[in-house]
Structure 1
Amino acid sequence: MTKRALILVEGHSGIGLLYVKAARRLGLHPITLSANPTQYDYLMAEGIEAIRVDTDNLDALIHECARVRATFDISGITGFSGADESACVMASELCRRFDLPGPNPASIERCCNKFTQRQLLAKAGVPVPAYRLARNATDAERAAEEIGLPVVLKPVVGSGSSGVQLCRNADELAEHTAYLLGGDHIWRSSPSLLVEEFAQGAHYGAQMMGNAVIGISATGFGPPPQFVYRESIFPVALTDEEYERLADVSLSCLRALDLGWGPSNVELRWTKLGPIVIEVNPRVGGAPTPRLVQVAYGVDLVTEHIKAVIGDEWDLRRRHSYTAAARLLIADRDGTLEWISGDSQAAAVEGIIEAKFYVEPKMPIVRKGDYRDWIGHLIAVSPSFAQTTTILQDAVDLIDWSIAPFPTPSE
């Protein structure tokens, strides 16, 4: 019998391992197509087949999939978000070419452009912050004047909060514009910026599969001006009316963007005017979101996504109801990591189910102002909101580290 393969376009440092393990549990042979497979440690560690190919080249991807099909039965194809989420678009195109289940490629591509996404949401009456497109410093300055400072300045295409910054005054706006357009920020498409009203209020994330809202989390960030995720908790403490409002707005996003196949997640803020949509992502939320949803509700988003990809029936029924929370540990300075302490003690705290560091002593730490500033995470679970938050904080208090500044040139 021919083996059934799952093609993964690119990998993912946070949730890629979850996908290959879930694929194997479903009897699939995972194969990763990547421009640089060596950047994903889990591929070698797990013995995952990887093929080096230009994942920005659709013809090259089609060629490699055709070669794979000579040996395997390709049961499904999906992709992970990269620097510009192009892998998700390419995966959906491949699904169309090989007559496999998948989302509409045009919908994914429109959603991955933040300016186009804003236009479609606004046209459909979905509440979004005021926004302007900018291609140079003059455009950005004019947009900020029209919207009013502070503003959020971000690349039109990108993920993981890369290049996203709060600009509280004209100097910060000019400085960040110069950074984004000056060659330091990596662009894989024509540089363009989104200048956006700073929507102030509690931040929430709705995790969705198809047209169903699986759960809504409360999320928090590290200190401004960056937006580095720091914590997340499922389920969020909301009244029934508040939950329904967030869920209704999230579902309206899917209709406006012609999504609704497979996974998606919607980021919102609850402002004085009510829920405002910050961003819609046509994919499973990054780590540690899938793990939180699984321990809180018993719903494995990754496995159910793969089932959709291969044409099987998914099961989104909640099997239990706990409160799960994660704290992302963020580097507080640049330099060389000298030591970490308390991680084993934190892992031993009752209710902590994960305590993981991504770095080791002697490693250099260079903060980027996005997800790459994470050096580890803790996950706690219990029957109640209050108990979970207490467990998590008790464990966090046990952890410490030291980062020595890099030597100056004179040293």
Structure 2
Amino acid sequence: MERRALILVEGHRGSGVLYVQAAQRLGFHPITLSADPARYDYLAAEGIETIRVDTDNLDALIRECSRLGATHDIVGITGFSGDDESVYVTVGKLCRHFDLPGPNPASIEQCCDKFTQRQLLAEAGVPVPAFRVAANATVVERSAVEIGLPVILKPAVGSGSIGVRLCRNADELVEHTTYLLAGKHIWRSSPRILVEEFAQGPSYWADIMGDQIIGIGTGDCGPPPHFVCRECTIPAPLTDDEHERIAEISMSCLRALGLGWGPTGIEFRWTKCGPVVIEVNPRLHGTPTPQLIHLAYGVDLITQHIKLVIGDEWDLRRRHSQTAAARFLIADRDGILDWIDGGSRAAAVPGVTEVKFYIEPKTPIVRQGDYRDWIGHVIAASSSHAQTKAILQRAVDLVDWSITPFPSTGAPEGSEILIGTETGQSHFCSGS
């Protein structure tokens, strides 16, 4: 009898293991196709079958899937992105080629280009910040003058808040433009910078499956000029009217971008003019968002996404209603992590559901001003916002660490590593 295989293109240090475990619970054999399987520790730890293949080469992926199809019943194909959202486009193309359920690759592709996405949303009347696109410093400066400082500069293609910064004055504008264009930022395509109005106000996010809103949460970011998420909570404390406004704009986003199959994550700022769309992501938000939704509503988004991928019926009904929140542990300085502890004490606090450290002692830490600054997280849930917040604070207060600063000569060569996991893209703050 042929094994029923679920193909996973690339991996994800946050959500990847959750997909693998969900596939196994459903009776499927997960197979990961990756250019570098060693990037994902959980594959070896879980004993998952992996195949090394150039995942940027669609023809190579088609050949590999065809070869697997000779000995397996391929029930579905999906995938992940740590920092390259083209994976989602590739997944859509593979699904089309093998006549399997999947997203429209053209819709995904135009959504992954932030400038194209902005254009389509604006043309459809969706509220977005003022924006321009620039390929050189002269146009960046002119665009910033037209929009008015402060502005946000971000790569037109990218994720995880990498390369995103608030520029509050001319000096910061020049500094970050130079950083992006002078070779320090790694571009996966021709350099294009999105120059964007700084939409000020509380941050919210919506997770959607198909055309159903699963939940709306809120996030809190660290101090400017960066946008490192520090805490996220679901459900957000919104009035019925506020919830409805975000829901209506979310549906408008789906229509404008040709989405509506599978998961979508949308990020907002609630400005003095109301909710403004910061970004639409044609995927689930990364961990810990799926865990928060499961805790808050009893909906296992990852399992339901797999059911959609294999053409089965899904079930998005809420089983209960709680408030769930995650607090990220963020490095407070560059240097070498001497030790980090308190995890078991924090996990023992009633209401805490998970404490996770992303790095080991003796790891070099070089803060990047994005999700890679996370060194761990704590998740909690209870019957109320106030109680959940108190539980989180009690648990976080029990966690401590020590970082020895680098010598005055700076970080050791080669130490600019990704200190966070590829929990990737669980970013609910303007600028991501």
* Structure 2 length-normalised TM: 0.94
What CA distance in whole angstroms lies between the structure 2 residues aligned with 1:182 and 1:84?
Answer: 21
Q: 1:67: how far off?
A: 1.1
Deviation by residue 1:326-367 (Cα, 9 ceiling, x = unmatched)? 001111111000122322211111110111111121111111
Pairs within 5 Å for 1:199-278? 199-278=199-278
1:293 corresponds to which letter in structure 2? I
Deviation by residue 1:30-58 (Cα, 9 ceiling, x = unmatched)? 11111111011001111111111111111
Match of residue 57 from structure 1: 57
What CA distance in whole angstroms lies between the structure 1 residues aligned with 2:193 and 2:254?
Answer: 24
1:255 corresponds to which letter in structure 2? R
What CA distance in whole angstroms lies between the structure 2 residues aligned with 1:370 and 1:37?
Answer: 24
What CA distance in whole angstroms lies between the structure 1 residues aligned with 2:74 and 2:191?
Answer: 36
What CA distance in whole angstroms lies between the structure 2 residues aligned with 1:93 and 1:300?
Answer: 26
Q: Which moved more, 1:268-277 or 1:360-369?
A: 360-369
3-state SS, counterpart of residue 376 of structure 1: strand
3-state SS, counterpart of residue 143 of structure 1: helix
Match of residue 307 from structure 1: 307
Q: 1:11: how far off?
A: 0.5
Pairs within 5 Å for 1:53-202? 53-202=53-202
3-state SS, counterpart of residue 268 of structure 2: strand
What CA distance in whole angstroms lies between the structure 2 residues aligned with 1:158 and 1:144?
Answer: 21
What CA distance in whole angstroms lies between the structure 2 residues aligned with 1:208 and 1:406?
Answer: 43
Q: 1:224: how far off?
A: 1.4
2:258 corresponds to which letter in structure 1? D
2:119 corresponds to which letter in structure 1? Q
Match of residue 8 from structure 2: 8
What CA distance in whole angstroms lies between the structure 1 residues aligned with 2:305 and 2:106?
Answer: 20
3-state SS, counterpart of residue 216 of structure 1: strand
What CA distance in whole angstroms lies between the structure 2 residues aligned with 1:362 and 1:103?
Answer: 42
Q: Which moved more, 1:77-86 or 1:33-42?
A: 77-86
Q: 1:185: how far off?
A: 1.1
Pairs within 5 Å for 1:32-43? 32-43=32-43
Q: 1:368: how far off?
A: 1.5
Deviation by residue 1:205-261 (Cα, 9 ceiling, x = unmatched)? 000000000000010112211111111101111111111111111111001001000
Match of residue 390 from structure 1: 390
What CA distance in whole angstroms lies between the structure 2 residues aligned with 1:399 and 1:72?
Answer: 46
3-state SS, counterpart of residue 163 of structure 1: coil
3-state SS, counterpart of residue 295 of structure 1: helix
3-state SS, counterpart of residue 84 of structure 2: coil
3-state SS, counterpart of residue 393 of structure 2: helix
What CA distance in whole angstroms lies between the structure 2 residues aligned with 1:175 and 1:70?
Answer: 54
Q: Which moved more, 1:5-14 or 1:108-117?
A: 5-14
How high is the sequence identity, in percent, across the aligned residues? 72
Q: Which runs of 4+ in 1 moved over 6 A?
A: none
Deviation by residue 1:124-151 (Cα, 9 ceiling, x = unmatched)? 0000000000101111111100000110
What CA distance in whole angstroms lies between the structure 2 residues aligned with 1:191 and 1:51?
Answer: 32
3-state SS, counterpart of residue 82 of structure 2: coil
What CA distance in whole angstroms lies between the structure 2 residues aligned with 1:159 and 1:169?
Answer: 24
What CA distance in whole angstroms lies between the structure 1 residues aligned with 2:7 and 2:214?
Answer: 26
Q: 1:93: how far off?
A: 0.3
Q: 1:82: how far off?
A: 3.5
Deviation by residue 1:137-180 (Cα, 9 ceiling, x = unmatched)? 11111110000011010001111111111111111111111111
Q: 1:394: how far off?
A: 1.2
Q: 1:409: how far off?
A: 3.6
What CA distance in whole angstroms lies between the structure 2 residues aligned with 1:372 and 1:151?
Answer: 23
1:274 corresponds to which letter in structure 2? G
Q: 1:83: how far off?
A: 2.1
Match of residue 425 from structure 2: none
What CA distance in whole angstroms lies between the structure 1 residues aligned with 2:30 and 2:186?
Answer: 29
What CA distance in whole angstroms lies between the structure 2 residues aligned with 1:150 and 1:13?
Answer: 35
What CA distance in whole angstroms lies between the structure 1 residues aligned with 2:341 and 2:43?
Answer: 29
2:232 corresponds to which letter in structure 1? S
1:221 corresponds to which letter in structure 2? C
What CA distance in whole angstroms lies between the structure 2 residues aligned with 1:41 and 1:338?
Answer: 22
3-state SS, counterpart of residue 208 of structure 2: strand
Q: 1:80: how far off?
A: 1.0
Q: 1:191: how far off?
A: 1.1
What CA distance in whole angstroms lies between the structure 2 residues aligned with 1:332 and 1:238?
Answer: 32
Q: Which moved more, 1:397-406 or 1:109-118?
A: 397-406
Match of residue 298 from structure 1: 298
What CA distance in whole angstroms lies between the structure 2 residues aligned with 1:349 and 1:214?
Answer: 28
3-state SS, counterpart of residue 174 of structure 1: helix
* Structure 1 length-normalised TM: 0.98
1:296 corresponds to which letter in structure 2? A
3-state SS, counterpart of residue 75 of structure 1: strand
Deviation by residue 1:375-400 (Cα, 9 ceiling, x = unmatched)? 00000110111111111111111222
What CA distance in whole angstroms lies between the structure 1 residues aligned with 2:161 and 2:259?
Answer: 22
Deviation by residue 1:53-73 (Cα, 9 ceiling, x = unmatched)? 111111111111111111111
The size of the alignment, in residue pairs, is 411
1:164 corresponds to which letter in structure 2? V
What CA distance in whole angstroms lies between the structure 1 residues aligned with 2:349 and 2:263?
Answer: 33
3-state SS, counterpart of residue 63 of structure 1: helix
Unaligned 5+ runs, structure 1: none
Kindly indicate whether structure 1 or structure 2 has the higher relative contact order, using CA contacts under 8 Å at least 6 residues apart. Answer: 2
Q: 1:408: how far off?
A: 3.0
1:20 corresponds to which letter in structure 2? V
